[in-house]
Amino acid sequence: MIPLSYYITVSTVMFVIGLVGVLIRRNFLIILFSIELMLNAANINLIAFSRHYGEIDGQVISLFIITIAAAEAAIGLAIIIVLFRKKAITNVDELNLMKW
């Protein structure tokens, strides 16, 4: 039996890596992957606590998060492809489509 603290430690490390990726990197794909990593860290926590307390609520919420992450990845990749075809950029700082 793996202790709950191991799951929390792995989840924390994954979340911090994802957070650093979102804050430091300027590439669209890296930011998208970092957000996915943060969502997976939250899933690990939900499932670990759900198993620890013997409830199924965390696992159900985790399924919703997986669904949202899949939709976010599909929409995010579609937006990235459109922007790359239109502007040929992958850097977030160079994107100025919303400016007047």
Domain annotation covers residue 62: yes
Domains held by the chain: number = 1
Domain annotation covers residue 7: no
pLDDT, residue 28, reads: 83
Domain annotation covers residue 13: no
Q: Are 92 and 29 in contact (CB under 8 A)?
A: no
pLDDT, residue 96, reads: 67
Kindly give the parts of the chain with pLDDT less than 50.
none
Domain annotation covers residue 16: no
pLDDT, residue 25, reads: 83
What dihedral angle (degrees, nearest 10) is formed by the CA atoms of 41, 46, 50, 52? Answer: 40
Domain annotation covers residue 40: yes
Write the CATH number for 47. 1.10.287.3510
Tokens of 7: 């799951």
pLDDT, residue 98, reads: 59
pLDDT, residue 38, reads: 94
pLDDT, residue 88, reads: 76
